[in-house]
Amino acid sequence: MKPAFEEGGKLHKLYWVWDGFETFLFTPGHATERGAHIRDGIDLKRTMAMVITALLPCLLFGIWNVGHQHYLALGELTGPGDGFWPKVGFGALKVLPIVVVSYAVGLGVEFLFCVIKGHSIQEGFLVSGMLIPLIMPVDVPLWQVAVGTAFAVLIGKEVFGGTGMNVMNVALTARAFLFFAYPTMMSGDKVWVSTDLSAGQHLVDGFSGATSLGNAATGHVDRIVSFMDSFWGIEAGSIGETSAFACLLGAAFLLITGIGSWRIMLSMLLGGAGMAWLFNLIGANDYMAIPWYHQLVLGGFAFGMVFMATDPVTAAQTNTGKWIYGFLTGLLAILIRVVNPAYPEGVMLAILFMNVMAPLIDHFVVQANIGRRLKRAAVAA
């Protein structure tokens, strides 16, 4: 089939579409010459495949948790060990369409641009297409997923030159766009738990679909789930963000394979822990009194630390810069979460802000290194 897509073939204008599929299945026969942010012996597709593998625990747990939260709202199968397959089945019916729409729209835009601009398919969306569903509420309308994904790929990436050139994380760009464009569908009490009811079903009395952070932001700290439930992820929230344990499994895989940056993960953990501990010392309200270690497993902090802040394109590139970048990201995430109740989940805004600051951090780190070398050269002279 390949000759038909090469120069002179009937389908030569679609060569880069063919190239995308061929290099997905086989080792590429060419090397990246410019704009590379992956500096390793493996190509970008293999790197993205590693990250997708690391995301699988979050996806699988998220599917189960969607079903668990649904049956919990109905007062049925309330134990974590009750009705495993009905919960997985319900969760799959809700989550997989979101994944399909994300990939269909995002890859559709990627394919369109590769044909128009005559360049190879940029595989960065292989990960973004999975991240976008995992940071969405389960009841988000599919058309909003499509709009947010298209916006993120077009405005968040392509206008800057494509994969490796974007300033901000693509998945978080989609999340931020939907958060500000459709706030009623991306926040509030009812979007985190799918409560589709069939004949004869009704919600249990007093049911609230609010997340723990949503409850804390409104002054109901007593409604926050326990530390262990937060650690395992048995709570309402975005599809793939709730389980700190699943995130740690993904982190272990990324660190063992050398894909993720341990400096960013560790420094963000220290920054978040330090800010939460400082709030514990201040203790001006019940929200500040939440134990620092509990803050680190609430909401999407662990997910952002492992999969978002470590994005090799938008994070700091220098080793010293990674420590500064990660520490400030963790600090700001907890600061926004606690101080500004309008944004009960501060991780998204913290990472996006630090994405913008990352080049400036690297600039000062490089300039500091140059200054030290010039001083040593002057002394030697």
pLDDT tens, 112-154? 887 777 666 666 788 999 999 999 999 999 999 999 999 999 9
> pLDDT category, 164, cuts 50, 70, 90?
confident
pLDDT over 80 at 334, yes or no: yes
> pLDDT category, 51, cuts 50, 70, 90?
very high
Nearest to 156 by CA among 137, 138, 175: 175
Tell me which of 98-102, 166-170, 204-208, 283-287 is least confident. Answer: 204-208
> pLDDT category, 271, cuts 50, 70, 90?
very high
Query: What domains does the chain contain, in order, with CATH numbers?
Result: 39-372 (1.10.3430)
Q: What is the mean pLDDT of residues 184-206?
A: 75
Q: What is the pTM of this model?
A: 0.88
Distance in angstroms (rounded) separating the CA atoms of residues 339 and 346: 10
pLDDT value at residue 33:
60
Tell me which of 35-44, 96-105, 164-173, 197-206 is least confident. Answer: 35-44
- Joined together, the tokens standing for residue 10 give 């009937």
Backbone conformation region of residue 200, classed left if phi is above 0, alpha if psi is from -120 to 50, else beta: left
pLDDT over 60 at 37, yes or no: no
Q: Which residues of 115-127 are buried (b: 16+ CB within 10 A; e: fewer)?
A: eeeeebbbbbbbb
Contact at 8 Å (CB) between 353 and 331? no
| Percent of the chain whose pLDDT exceeds 70 | 91
146 contact partners, CB below 8 Å, separation of at least 6: 101, 105
pLDDT over 90 at 2, yes or no: no
Q: What is the mean pLDDT of residues 245-267?
A: 95
- Joined together, the tokens standing for residue 332 give 């700001």
pLDDT over 80 at 269, yes or no: yes
